[in-house]
Structure 1
Amino acid sequence: MGERKDVDNTLRSQVDGYGFDRSHDPNSDAYDDFMASYLPVLARRESRWKSLVSKGGDIAKNRKVKRFCRKGIPNEHRKYVWMFLSGAEEKKRMNPKTYKLLLLGEKDTTVVETIALDLHRTFPENIYFSTKDGLRNSLSNVLIAVSHHNPDKGYCQGLNFIAGLLLLIVKDEESVFWLMDCLMNKILPDFYSPGMEAVKAEQELLGEIIKWKDPALYQHMETVGVHWCLVGTKWFMCLFADVLPTETVLRIWDCMFYEGSKVLLRVSAMLILQNKERLMACDNFTSMVNELQSIIKNPQSLNCHKLMKHCFKRLGSFPHSRIEKMRLECLARVGD
């Protein structure tokens, strides 16, 4: 019996709190070390958030809540806070029958078939998605409902990873549906429209931000010949889900549901700038692309607490007017 218990403990330790298999993760030791130091941080945050959400009702947007979001929302409060900050809770309340009617209504067979192809590709290393008995059916329902509720956008790859991670955290199909709807129509409008001009423009905008914050690094990357579409496509399409470590993605989303898409730009820029020395050492296209692919896997990306702090402290001001002006210029460039 003792031997069986040891085996069970070993297997259990290979799966993190979200169901992801870590047995083949080269950074597993770094993850364990980080979590050992991060758990006390989470405990402190939980006590602060508890006093805020215990009152019930809507969560007003103010400087205190913004600061709290930047420092991280405890997992047990994420559904409640995300739903209110995004506007999803109000939509759900005002449209109580919408989700069920979408699932019962007529379907576009092409969309349904496309979604079905992506189900087994969504987090196959996660115990909740690796079998048909897990969350695959819920994922299918959410994606079908979202796509038919937004026929002008339909379904595109990337949405499956976002919906999948939301299901792991929120654990309620209808709530995930409304969070997805708010992401596609309010927080990230046009990101998932046919042609993806907004995402293409956001990639160009990332380049302009690097040019603004570090001209030397920007020029080096331009000289090597790396196009910005090679850097951030998956970052923006998946909102870093299936790209960065789960804890890091969730910290990004805590801010995104409050502050919008600008947070994605901050994180993308910080990932590049904090690896400046390694990127400057790349003297050809291939080595630069390989380095860009590796920066999302190094321990710096794992330490979400430090990464998010750097995003807001080291990058300095991101004036909305300047970002919007640059975005419009990039949109015009993409549209030419």
Structure 2
Amino acid sequence: MTGEAEAVGPPAAEYDEYGFVVPAGALGREIVRYKQQFQPKAERRVTRWERFRRADPSLSNRRRLKRLVRKGIPDSFRKEIWAHCLGSQRLRDANPNKFESLLREPLSDETLSQIELDLTRTFPNNKLYKYEDGVAKLRRVLRAFAVHNVRVNYCQSLNFIAAVLLLFMDEELAFWTLAQVVSSEEGAKGLHIDGYYVEGMDQLRADLRALERIVQRKFPNAYASLRREGVELEWVCQEWFHTLFSTVLPIQTTLRVWDCLFLEGHKILFRVALAIFKENELRISKFQSLEEVMVSMREISSHQVDHNSLLKAAFKGIGRLKRAQIRREQAYGERMVAEENAAAQARRERHNQAHPPPPAKPQLPALDNPGHGEAGGSGEESPVGAAVREAARRLESVIDSCYDSILGDGDDDVDVSPVDGEPPAARLPGSIPALSPDSVFSYLGVSVSSMLQPSNSSDATRSSVNVHRGDNALATSPAK
């Protein structure tokens, strides 16, 4: 019986060398086939890297390093080369106890809860993050980063970047590498993209505007196809840049992109995005509907299995793309984002003017033990003081009821029809005056003296107050 159950049950998951489940179907077969096809090249590259490391232990020959990095860093060298390119190893050496001390610092409940929520969403198809040990490592890296980078704190997408780093690095080095990826603290190294992960994401939005201009110029047919279907380029490409392609490309391709990204800087994001359009320009140009665009663009990125062809397109197929050109387009994007932000602020101000918040209820001043003797004196509260305190308590309750009746729950129309003897201005939510104790007593028609009159029986009525709003009346119950 057990044998039959095993025979008809689903096959056991197959994992790649990085711990990810190999996709089922045609995509999985394509990944396996390409890996086998690429294996001879991969072995030759390992030999070249070993020879280079023996000849240049300090990695001082940047020209040679760049040429090798563009061909791909072997897995056995990635930890060392990434840390060198980003400067994270030097930061770790200069701050030997920093990581552990950051973990002892408090974080807000909001940040902690967001990190915990994202932990369960981070690469559930990777076996490292199926178990608590891997999740705990990722948690510590994200918490330390949130304390360390005050400007960013924590933002979704950082969990995916940190999770990929942990496939090659221990927690402490992964933390320093993440810090360098986002906001460089080591010389000219790092990506300097902290503006991707702060409120408003202005830097990310500006870069996407810049990318849109370059795509429109280099691939006009593909761009026209997207616009014809009403698709903004940022809908497609925001995740590409925000996660550094880690959630959209196959892991083998992501790693090849990161090899170049960590050495050459974030211009590589533009080159790789343009290479995807270059490799798929004809297909993109034939899109016929919004649904086809959104589904197909996701499929296109997930099927970029041939990382060698993609990187060749990034460096040769897209034509010239100088840093100065990218910077000019980024400056344009920054102006566009500034204009969008100014327009949004103006809309908020107009909305606030048209829908002002309801006024706060007036607060009666605290009565500091009225009826006592001089300051610092002691003794029992006088009858006058006790009566004033009781009057203030009851009046405060009446005022609450009055405001509730006037303002309702914030949605009811306010009845502003005149009532005999009632000051209209006092009933309008937009013009309710500040109330002093004297004006409160005067407005409600209550005299302190009437509050002080002793009752002749236990059921005597001490006061009765009616506050009108239109035809409705609120009356305090007689004090018994």
Question: Normalising by structure 2, what TM-score?
Answer: 0.65
> Which residue among 152, 167, 176 is the counterpart of 2:174?
176
- Tell me how far apart the structure 1 counterparts of residues 258 and 127 of structure 2 sit (CA, whole Å): 22
In the TM superposition, what whole-angstrom CA distance separates every residue of 1:296-317 from its partner, at most 9, and x where no partner exists?
123xx00111111111111122
Deviates further, 31-40 or 53-62: 53-62
Task: Give the 3 Å change call, closer, same or farther, for CA 145–57 of structure 1 in structure 2.
Answer: farther
Measure, in 1, the Cα distance between the counterparts of 2:253 and 2:171: 23
Amino acid paired to 2:315? F
SS in 2 for 1:96: coil
What amino acid maps onto 1:78 in structure 2? R
Which residue of 257, 271, 279 maps to 1:274?
279
User: Take 1:131 and 1:24, find their aligned partners in 2: how far apart are those partners?
Assistant: 22
Tell me if structure 1 keeps the 8 A contact 2:206–2:330: yes
Q: How far is 1:26 from its partner? A: 4.0
Cα distance between partner residues in 2 of 1:179 and 1:40? 31
Deviation at 1:292, TM superposition (A): 1.4
Shift of 1:61: 5.8
How far the C-alpha of 1:56 sits from its partner, in A, is 7.3
Question: Which range is displaced more, 60-69 or 229-238?
Answer: 60-69
Matched with 1:322 is 325
CA contact (8 A) 1:58 1:84 kept: no
**1:88·1:179 contact (CA, 8 Å) conserved in 2?**
yes
| CA 1:25–1:199: 2 relative to 1, 3 Å | farther
Matching residue's letter, 1:235 = W
Q: CA deviation at 1:23?
A: 5.3
Task: Please report how far the alpha carbon of residue 11 of structure 1 lies from its aligned counterpart in structure 2 after TM superposition.
Answer: 4.2
- Quote the offset at 1:319 in angstroms: 0.8
Q: Which one of the candidate residues 289, 292, 297 is aligned to 2:297?
A: 292
1:188 paired residue number: 192
Tell me the equivalent position of 2:225. 220
8 Å contact from structure 2 (residues 219, 277) kept in 1 = no
Aligned residue type for 2:179: D
Alignment-derived partner of residue 49 in structure 2: 49
Taking the aligned partners of 1:24 and 1:37, their CA distance within structure 2 comes to 19
Q: Counterparts of 1:221-240 in structure 2 under 5 Å?
A: 221-240=226-245
CA distance in 2, matches of 1:54, 1:15: 33
Equivalent position to 1:207, from 208, 212, 218: 212
Q: Distance between the aligned counterparts of 2:43 and 2:280, measured in 1?
A: 30
Per-residue deviation at 1:212?
2.3
Residue pair 1:167, 1:173 contacting (<8 A) in 2 also: yes
Q: Matches of 2:59 and 2:175 in 1, distance apart?
A: 20
Is residue 324 of structure 2 the alignment partner of residue 313 of structure 1? Answer: no
Change (3 A) 1:267 1:25: farther
1:254 to 1:61, Cα distance in 2 relative to 1, 3 A: farther
Which residue of the other structure, out of 326, 337, 340, is the alignment partner of 1:334? Answer: 337
Q: Aligned with 2:168: secondary structure?
A: helix
Deviation at 1:53, TM superposition (A): 2.4
Letter in 1 for 2:192: L
Amino acid in the other structure paired with 1:123: F
Q: 1:55 to 1:98 in 2, by over 3 A?
A: farther
* Unmatched segments (≥5 aa) in structure 2: 185-190, 340-480
Identity %: 30
Q: CA deviation at 1:194?
A: 1.9
For the residues of structure 2 that align with 1:253 and 1:188, how far apart are their CA atoms?
15
Counterpart CA distance in 2 for 1:139 and 1:238 is 16
DSSP 3-state at the match of 2:73: coil
User: 1:75-154 maps to which residues of 2 (within 5 A)?
Assistant: 75-132=75-132, 134-154=133-153
Do the aligned residues in 1 keep the contact of 2:278 with 2:313 (CA within 8 Å)? no
Equivalent-residue separation in structure 1 for 2:53 and 2:12 (angstroms): 35
1:17-32 matches, within 5 Å, as 17-22=17-22, 24=24, 26-32=26-32
The residue matched to 1:135 in structure 2 has which SS? helix
Deviations 1:86-116 (A, max 9, x none): 1111111111111111012222222111101
**Matching residue's letter, 2:21:** D
2:278 touches 2:317 (CA, 8 Å); kept in 1? no
Deviation at 1:25, TM superposition (A): 5.3
Alignment of 1:3-42 (within 5 A): 11=12, 14-22=14-22, 24=24, 26-42=26-42
Contact 1:203–1:231 at 8 Å: present in 2 too? Answer: no
Tell me the alpha carbon deviations over residues 168-189 of structure 1, each in whole angstroms, 9 at most, x when there is no partner: 122x001100110001113132
Q: Which has the larger radius of gyration?
A: 2
Who is 2:434 aligned against?
none
Q: Secondary structure at the match of 1:27?
A: helix
Structure 2 counterpart of 1:252, one-letter code: V
1: CA distance, partners of 2:26 / 2:338: 41
Question: Does the CA-based 8 Å contact 2:278-2:318 persist in structure 1?
Answer: no
**2:183 match: secondary structure:** helix
Aligned equivalents of 1:101, 1:58: Cα separation in 2: 30
Comparing 211-220 with 120-129, which one deviates more in the overlay? 211-220
The one-letter code matched in structure 2 to 1:188 is: H
Looking at structure 1, the residues matched to 243 and 202 of structure 2 have their Cα atoms a distance apart, in angstroms, of 16
